[in-house]
Structure 1
Amino acid sequence: MPLPIPPPTADQDTLRKLIGLTHALSAERHLPRLYDRIIEAAQDFTHADGGTLYILEGQGVGQGLRFEVMRTLSLDIRAGGDSGQAIDLRPIPLWLDDGRPNHQNVCAHVWHQGTLVNIADAYEVEDFDFSGTRAFDRAMHYRTVSLLTLPLQNHAGDIIGILQLVNARVPGTDRVQAFDPAFEPLVLALASSAAVTLDKQQLLQGHKDLLDAFIRTIAQAIDAKSAHTSAHCQRVPVLTELIAQAACHADTGPLKDFDLDDEGWYELRVAAWLHDCGKLATPDSLLDKSTKLHALSDRIETVQARYAALIAQETAAAANQGDARLQARILQLREDCDFLARANIGGEFMRPEDQQRVRDIAAQSWTDHTGAIRPLLTAEEADMLCIARGTLNGEERQRINRHIDVTLQMLEAMPFPKTLARVPEYAGGHHEKVDGTGFPRGLTGDQMSWPARMMAIADIFEALTARDRPYKPPMPLSQALSILRDMRDRRHIDADLYTLFLESRVWDIYAREHLLPEQLDVQDPAAYR
């Protein structure tokens, strides 16, 4: 990026130092570290003992200068930026209560004027209010002398922050001196370079924040389509990251070299949040199918109405004929009706003898209001009530499974940057199996990345332990881990990742935060190895 032409007095070493600092700033991608680099570079360049970076925030008369980084070398103060130490100070207001520009504070004044202010001794200046500076000095047994306050002006001419340097020191000593005016053009050049870099990074961060918000909105929209899978799209990212963290800490086995940098972590998070985005195209009637006979309404009520009519018919017939077996017959009909209501709810497994009982009931008949003889269950109702697992039949499950095809179509159509290029592969692989029998592409384990295999385990474990599925009670950890172990044995999930999941107690960490107390029935995972 271009730099202002330095004054003739600047030597070649100074120029090289300035160019080196500029390049170092422009190479920094992490915003908090960039804040730190700006302060460090300015202090190093001017031999300043202290420095504060302020960033513009707010709109209109509510604008202010937020304390972003504070450093004082002699007091060993380092706060804000990437330090992990928060700055608990109110922003400097840029406007007074009556709406006039704030020229009382030197930083606010520099923002309004757009020019630097070089003060030789803060205690001898009456143009600005330095009461806060004096209070700091008294509390810290410090003495603020020289101040250099500069605007951070971007390429569009907007001032996006203020840089204030404190107490220039004579090189090699602790003696404080005024900031040399001859260096002002160079410091302004550094500030300008920092502002352009900072503006670019803030713009990138803004785009990233917008993408994050958009992604989370999509996930929330998917979860909102069905109360019975609510928060699934929010919990799978939690599990995926827990597994990835365990993999990053592995020091033996095939995952010992697995690692993620900042960009890799972000790529994984985006994929995890978007892994079910194709469900936006799935009919709500399928996502929200809470019982086997549910369509626009639960058709079990129609079946129950038939039973009510049949019981009334049987009662009338018995009264006319004096049938002594009436009570036993009515009891049997009521038991059958209750059984069908239970079968309609669904579950993890339906016994063959229960399926046969449904078919036996379907062979019975009743008389409708026209006098026509009708089957007690239609063929479709009988087939639905015999669904062995969950509430979906084969065709409905295939329609649900097609969401992964839509997910891939949506994600592969998006112009992801290079740093997010693997999002479609990560998100699109969570229904693949390591033996190649999964969908949509039938990939084998060695054709899948580690993150895609991690997401598959996360998706399964969340679904097994979810506490809001209408067709099953909240599954305890013992049952969920048994199912995962069996899937490992059948080569449906990656064996090494299952071992990592078990041994690093990812299941336990997740369960304590997201499951009900009654689900936490495992302490020692040895039985599930």
Structure 2
Amino acid sequence: MREQLDILKNENERLLSILQISQSFTAELDLELLLKKISDVVRSVLRADRCTVFLYDSERNELWSKVATGIKNEIRFSAELGLAGYTARTGEVLNIPDAYADTRFNPEIDKKTGYRTETVLTIPLRDEKNEITGVFQVLNKKNGQFTEEDEKLLGALASTASTAIENSKSYEDLHRSFISFIETLSTTLDSRDYITSGHSRRVTLYSVQIAQLMKLNRNELDLIRFAALLHDIGKLGIPEMVLFKNKRLSEDEYEIIKRHASLSHTILNKIHFQKHLKDLPKIAASHHEKIDGKGYPKGLKGDQIPLGGKIIAVCDVFDALTSRKQYSDRLDIEKVIEILESETGTSFEPYVVYQFKNIPLNILIEILEFGHHEELIESDLRFLSKFTMKDLLEIRRTKNRTAEQRRLDETFIRYYSRKYRK
């Protein structure tokens, strides 16, 4: 009787563990993070050395995974190969006590990594139509071999993991569609004026670089990326005769132009964004606010301005100052930075300007030359990647330069001083 109670208790604990694990799976929508979480949980629960969640690419008949214990790069191979491939083709659960004694085992990954596979447990992942979408592969059970109980446990986890993976893939598909829509909208907006063509994309690329240097999380990066892409959407409501006027604007015309910031908020506020993007209208509309409160449309100051708005503000001005014009050269880079620095603390957040100057020069050039990447020389970009704008400015202030410092200045200016091209 006592033995039966212990068995029942263990079974209840196992089921409770599966339920808790299931809830943690369904809460994660980032596919890469989800696969890592699943892999770590399975490895722990089954007391195994390694676990890989392979997804099945039906178009290429391949298994692939971005997440595999002990391996940094993506794994991708034919579904005709190995024990995981056999399970993907047949749907059969495999519990192999000695991998190298099984002719279906493919030792190529072991050869590349120096790992020694011994025991293997594989089980298929299936969608709601019962079609195989991937394979769990668990390696090297600690203290023995995989048991029938391990097979049942992995089967239960596979069912939950399959649902979570399909949800995550659907979310990522929707996310990619949303990104495509936003980018198309941004490109359409920029194409209205050949002079500022590509402005929103460049501002976005600069903004994302700063956000990454600040180590913001994925949701915060998304928020800044989309706000930057759409920061000028309010210009759709500005008359073209004012927006594209070649002569100096009158005071009344300038006031009309300034309306685009509040119009951006009005337009974007009508869109139902996901929860983590709910502040997008506010951020997009705040890129003309200034730290000292003398900006527009609301005259926000200091911490009243969202961080995303502060980032976009710096990038917006930098791009305006460095964009190639058809009949004039780019403003000297030292003069551009001098303008940014002179406005730091009044118009711009000091830490944002500081991080802007930490963007690697190869990335800066790639953004400046957005749309003309085929004209960039790879060896130049590799060389420039070792330096930042801060380094360039320090070198330019140095009288007796080394050969490397001269090369840096010359390489940067060769790209920066290129003439206007459509």
| Conserved 8 A contact 1:55-1:161 | yes
1:523 is matched with which residue?
393
TM-score, normalized by length of structure 1? 0.60
What is the match of residue 49 of structure 1?
A: 49
Q: Distance in 2 between matches of 1:428 and 1:485?
A: 23
Provide closer, same or farther for how the CA distance between residues 460 and 209 of structure 1 changes in structure 2, counting only shifts above 3 A: same
Letter in 2 for 1:523: L
Secondary structure in 2 aligned to 1:430?
A: coil
Report the CA distance between 1:473 and its aligned residue. Answer: 2.7
Q: CA–CA distance in 2 between the matches of 1:146 and 1:525? A: 58
- Aligned residue type for 2:357: R
Larger deviation, residues 233-242 vs 24-33: 24-33
Q: Can you list the C-alpha shifts for 1:215-234, whole angstroms capped at 9, x where unaligned? A: 22222222222221122111
Query: Secondary structure at 1:523's aligned position in 2?
Result: helix
Residue 245 of structure 1 and its aligned partner are, at CA, apart by 5.1
CA 1:32/1:442 → structure 2, altered by over 3 Å: closer, same or farther? same
CA contact (8 A) 1:56 1:161 kept: yes
What residue in structure 1 maps to residue 84 of structure 2? Answer: 107
2:66 corresponds to which residue? Answer: 68
The secondary structure found in structure 2 opposite 1:433 is coil
Q: Report the equivalent of 2:314.
A: 457
Is contact 2:25-2:38 (8 Å) kept? yes
Cα shift at 1:152: 1.6
Shift, 1:428, TM fit: 0.6
Gap change, CA 1:460 and 1:116, over 3 Å in 2: same
Structure 1 residue 277 displacement after superposition:
2.2
Q: Paired residue for 1:86, among 63, 73, 97?
A: 73
Match of 1:150, SS state, is strand
Cα gap change, 1:473 to 1:399, in 2 (>3 Å): farther
Query: Tell me, what secondary structure is at the counterpart of 1:151?
Result: strand
Cα distance per residue 1:68-122 (max 9 Å; x no partner): 3333xxxxxx11xxxxx213x54323xxxxxxxx6x7543443344442333444
8 Å contact 2:209–2:359 — kept in the other structure?
no
- Return the alpha-carbon distance in structure 2 between the equivalents of residues 142 and 453 of structure 1: 49
| C-alpha separation in 2, matches of 1:472 and 1:201 | 49
- Give the corresponding residue for 2:374: none
CA contact (8 A) 1:226 1:284 kept: no
Work out the CA distance in 2 between the residues paired with 1:430 and 1:244: 15
Change (3 A) 1:440 1:470: farther
In structure 2, do the counterparts of structure 1 residues 30 and 503 end up closer, same or farther at CA, with 3 Å as the change threshold?
Answer: closer
- The aligned amino acid for 1:236 is V
Partner Cα distance (1:111, 1:151) in 2: 6
Partner of 2:409: none
> Residue 441 in 1 paired to residue 291 in 2?
no
* Cα shift at 1:413: 0.6
Of the three residues 258, 274, 281, the one matched with 2:230 is 274
Higher normalized helix content (fraction of residues): 2
Question: Which residue identity lines up with residue 501 of structure 1 in the other structure?
Answer: V
Q: Is residue 225–residue 287 contact of structure 1 (8 Å, CA) maintained in 2?
A: no
Which of 415, 421, 437 is equivalent to 2:272? 415
Name the CA shift for 1:217/1:157 in 2 (closer, same or farther; >3 Å): same
What TM-score do the two structures reach when normalised by structure 2?
A: 0.74
| Counterpart-to-counterpart distance in 2, 1:262 and 1:225 | 31
Cα distance, 1:447 vs structure 2: 3.2
Shift of residue 200 of structure 1?
Answer: 1.8
CA contact (8 A) 1:501 1:507 kept: no
Task: Number of aligned residue pairs: give it.
Answer: 371
Alignment correspondent of 2:176: 209
Give the counterpart letter for 2:42 in structure 1.
A
Tell me the equivalent position of 1:153.
126
What is the rounded CA distance, in whole Å, between the counterparts of 1:419 and 1:268 in structure 2? 11
Q: Distance in 2 between matches of 1:220 and 1:139?
A: 44
2 CA distance for matches of 1:418 and 1:281? 27
Give the Cα–Cα distance (whole angstroms) in 1 for the partners of residues 340 and 114 of structure 2: 63
Q: Which structure has the larger Rg?
A: 1
Aligned to 1:425: 282
Asked if the contact 2:54–2:136 (Cα under 8 Å) also holds between the matched residues in 1, the reply is yes
**Alignment root-mean-square deviation, CA:** 3.7
Q: Residue 149 of structure 2 aligns with which residue?
A: 182
Aligned to 2:335: 479
- 3-state secondary structure, aligned to 1:36: helix
Q: Secondary structure at the match of 1:66?
A: strand
Report the Cα distance in structure 2 between the residues aligned to 1:414 and 1:243, rounded to whole angstroms: 26
Runs of 5+ in structure 1 lacking a partner? 1-6, 72-77, 80-84, 94-101, 171-175, 249-258, 293-386
3-state DSSP of counterpart to 1:185 = helix
Moved more, 191-200 or 259-268: 259-268
2:288–2:297 contact (8 Å) kept in structure 1: yes
Identity %: 27
* Unmatched tracts of structure 2, length 5 or more: 1-6, 370-379, 381-388, 398-422
| Cα 1:245–1:112 shift into 2, 3 Å | closer
